[in-house]
Structure formats: structure tokens, C-alpha cells
Amino acid sequence: MGVVVMKFGGTSLADPERIRAAARRVLRMKRAGNTVAVVVSAMGDSTDELVALAGRVCVDPPKRELDQLLATGEQVTVSLMAMALEDLGAPAISFTAGQIGMVTDDAHTKARIKTIDVRRIREQLDAGRIVIVAGFQGVTREGAVTTLGRGGSNVTLVAVAAALRADVCENLTDVDGIYTADPRIVPGARKIARIGYDEMLELASLGAGVLHNRAVEFAKKYRVPIHVRSSMNERKGTLITDEPEAMEKVVVAGAALKDKLARVIVKGVPDQPGVAAKVFHAIGAARIVVDDIMQIIGDDGRAVIAFGIEQADLGDARRIMARLGRELGCEATFADDLAKVSVVGSGMRVHSGVAERMFEALAKARINIENISTSEIKISCLIDRRLGRKALRVVHDAFELGGKKR
């Protein structure tokens, strides 16, 4: 018994029948003696449909108006969820972000939560009602509607759970939890029972989906444990929480594959202050996200700069580098067809030999490593994309992530 905040994603609310199923699940949680708040996403693909509708009215919709439009998606589901609960005999009340003072900055379409006034939620919970809160949306101090960007409903979940000091924060979704690797690629992948915030952040940014980084960062900041589990069954999922004590740390928690990467290698860069900045300013201005930047000074006193980009940005990067090449007297080459295989685990901080084991496994499988990048808790290898899925299986196997070898 305690305060529970449950969140249902769009797939779990895609039609009236699923909304009623979600309501029954909420009700079971309530009847078990808990105080329950619920955060909901918009129904199925309705957010995408609203974006498409805006596109048919306006080439480049003003962001304030886009937010005003998109927020209706969650306003629909909060009211339907409250109705479904009332229909089951459970007193319930729905709230939009404006109605509970979920105040954000005014960065429309990617707003950040500043404060929540939980008094109204508490009042209703104290009166025995189940409170339904619209995910993904906020409101500025002036009353304009904002949205929180991709993964925004999960940010709402964590924010509500933090503000209510919830005992349990459940993210009910269409997957069972976080796996040691993508089960569609690695059949032996195992569901992770418990994972640290930092590990989850690395896994998510390295290609493992489910939770958007912003929600995890927010959960880490407010130390809210998130239970990611399926809305379709009652099985336990994955608990994302503080890292376990050093003694019991798992060396490697999971492995991930990020596909469709490209790499830009710029040779003959004058080794002068400001040149690298010029390159990354031009790339950044085109909204191209880069990672794994390396710079080496060659014998000729000129530098080689290499960095990774998404393959989709390759065309833009080529144009920019052609222009910069003339200006700076350097030359860029491009490698597409790359993938990145990574292992993540907070135990790496205190265990050695992880990198060696990974490289050895890839070598044994005759997978060439094009580039390596590391952090305290992850090791990533850039490899030929055609070998990406094989590499993930090899690495997963090498660290016995599916369980001890039989």
C-alpha cells in the first residue's frame, strides 16, 4: 500500500477496448489499497495524425499553435480514462496540465517542466479519487499550452511521481521491460530485473529504445525509481533505479546496437586554434548531431579530425565539408555503412578486462573494429554495418548476458 503513479503509452490506449483494459488495471491497483494517479499519452497514432493535419493547413506551423493542437490528444485520453474508471464504479477525475499548474518554460514543442502545484492532485487523491493527468503537456506562466517533446509523457510520469513522493512509478508499455540486448536480434536476450540510471541512459543513447533519456535524467535527479513493464500482463519488468552497491555490481548490464551511422574523416586540417570550432559550428548550424569526435595531429603538423553522424545527415555533411574544405584547405572523406555495438555496465568502473574481452570476441568472429570510444560505464566499437547484428550476438554471448553458458 502506498502512492502509485502509473503511466500508459499510446499503444496501450489505442482504442476504447484498450482504454477499458487499462482502467481495469488501474482499478486493481487502487483496490489493492493504493492511492493511484495515472499519466496517459495520446491514443495510438493520434499525435502523428494531428501533426499531419497541421501540415495540411500550414507549411510551417507556429510552435505555440502546434502545441495548442497536439495537447488535445492527451486531453482526449484523460477524459476517456476517467470515464472508463467511472464506468467501472471508481471515482476518477481528469486534469490537463493547465488544470494542475504543470508549469514549463515557453520553449514550445520541447518545453521543460519548472514546477508542479500538486495541491489539486492531492486534494482529489485524499477525497478517494483516482487522478488522471495528461502526459506530454505543460502550460507557461502566461497560460499558453506547451508540449514536452519526444518521450514527454514519461517526463510527466516522473515529474508527477517526484512531486507526490510516490512509492511506485510504473511505466506500462508495449514491451516487457529492458533487455540485455534487442530480443529481435539476440534470441537469448534476457530481461534485466534492475538497472542503474546511468546504465539506462547509456543504453538508451546507444540504441536501446523504450525510455527517452530526458525521463531517465529527470528520474535520476529526483531519485524516482521507474518500473518499466508490460500493460498486457502482470509480470515484473525492469526497475530503473539508483545503482546497486559496488560489491554487487554487474560488470556488463546490457549490449546495444546502433545502426545507420556514418563517419566523417577530415584530413589536412591546419593545427590552429579555432579551426575545429569552425567545422563543428558549421555542422551544428545544420542541426547535425555528432558524437565520438577524435583529433590526431599528424607528422606534417596538420590534424585529422574524425566524428560520427547519423547516416541520414550524410548529404548535408558532404555539402558543408565541401565548402569548408575549400575555405580551410583540408579534405574530407566519408564512410557510411557503419554500425556501433556497445556494452554498458556500471561495474566497469571497478572491474578491468572488459574492453579486452569485447575486442577478443569481435576479433574471434573476424569483425574488424573501425573505431573505439569509451566512457566510465560503456565501451563502443564502430564496425561494418553488415556485421552489426552478428556483433551484437557475439558480444552478448561473450559477456554471458543471456545467462551462464550451458
Residues forming the site for a copy of itself (CB under 8 A) = 16, 19-20, 50, 53-54, 56-62, 64-66, 68-69, 71-72, 75-76, 78-80, 82-84, 86-87, 93-94, 96, 98-99, 143-145
Q: How far is the CB of 92 from a copy of itself (least distance, A)?
A: 8
Alpha-carbon radius of gyration of the chain:
24
CA distance 395 to 391: 6
Q: How far is the CB of 329 from a copy of itself (least distance, A)?
A: 43
Q: How far is the CB of 81 from a copy of itself (least distance, A)?
A: 8
Taking the least distance from each CB to a copy of itself, the nearer of 6 and 71 is 71
Residues 143/181, Cβ–Cβ less than 8 Å: no
Taking the least distance from each CB to a copy of itself, the nearer of 57 and 247 is 57
Taking the least distance from each CB to a copy of itself, the nearer of 28 and 364 is 28
Cell of 168: 511506485
Q: How far is the CB of 135 from a copy of itself (least distance, A)?
A: 15
From the list 288, 293, 314, 316, the residue with the least C-alpha distance to 382 is: 293
Q: How far is the CB of 173 from a copy of itself (least distance, A)?
A: 21
Which residues in 27-186 belong to E strands, given as ranges?
Answer: 35-40, 92-95, 102-104, 113-116, 130-134, 137-139, 145-147, 168-173
CA distance 267 to 254: 35
Element at 285 (helix H, strand E): helix 275-285
Cell of 153: 509523457
Q: How far is the CB of 158 from a copy of itself (least distance, A)?
A: 24
CA distance 262 to 242: 34
Q: How far is the CB of 146 from a copy of itself (least distance, A)?
A: 13
Bridge pairing between strands 331-344 and 254-270: antiparallel
Taking the least distance from each CB to a copy of itself, the nearer of 77 and 238 is 77
Taking the least distance from each CB to a copy of itself, the nearer of 108 and 229 is 108
CA distance 72 to 201: 30
Taking the least distance from each CB to a copy of itself, the nearer of 74 and 243 is 74
Taking the least distance from each CB to a copy of itself, the nearer of 96 and 171 is 96
Q: Dihedral (C-alpha) 243, 245, 246, 249: value to the nearest 10 degrees?
A: -60
Q: How far is the CB of 231 from a copy of itself (least distance, A)?
A: 16
For residue 384, count other CB atoms closer than 10 A to its CB: 16
Q: How far is the CB of 171 from a copy of itself (least distance, A)?
A: 23
How far is C-alpha 80 from the geometric centre of its chain's CA atoms? 27
CA distance 163 to 360: 47
Taking the least distance from each CB to a copy of itself, the nearer of 11 and 68 is 68
Residue 209 neighbours by CB under 8 Å, 6+ apart: none
3-state secondary structure of 147: strand
Q: How far is the CB of 290 from a copy of itself (least distance, A)?
A: 32
Taking the least distance from each CB to a copy of itself, the nearer of 58 and 297 is 58
Bridge pairing between strands 254-270 and 302-310: antiparallel
Taking the least distance from each CB to a copy of itself, the nearer of 58 and 289 is 58
